[in-house]
Amino acid sequence: MLYLVCYDISNDNARNRMSKALLDFGSRIQESVFECPLNDLLLERMMTRLERIPLGDIDRVRVYRLCGPCVERVRLYGPGDITTEPDVYLA
């Protein structure tokens, strides 16, 4: 399943930690937006890791699950490809 993760974090340290954590689970498509192809186990691992990063009162992280038909309807303008699910997951 493909997940879109985006965040708006004001603290540099927390923002850097979030970015580094998400790079272990997906691909950066914009500065604070990642596409993450995850199975259920990897989703739980990612969420557990992200929830350890302390956020400020105005900070937010959103994780959107994109269903198969939704992914097929994604339209791109500019360079880049849609992240595809790997043939094999390493757990």
Burial class (CB in 10 A: 0-12, 13-18, 19+), 2: buried
The predicted structure's pLDDT at residue 86: 58
Q: What is the CATH number of domain 2-72?
A: 3.30.70.240
pLDDT at 53 over 80: yes
Angstrom distance (rounded) from CA 83 to CA 17: 22
Per the CB < 8 A criterion, the answer to whether 70 and 64 are in contact is: no
Query: Residue 91: pLDDT above 90?
Result: no
CA distance 62 to 33: 10
What pLDDT is attached to residue 90?
A: 56
Provide mean pLDDT across the span 80-86.
Answer: 68
**Which pairing describes strands 2-8 and 33-37: parallel, antiparallel, or unpaired?**
antiparallel
- Domains of the chain, by residue range, sit at 2-72
pTM: 0.81
Residue 71's SS3 state is helix
Mean pLDDT of 9-37: 96
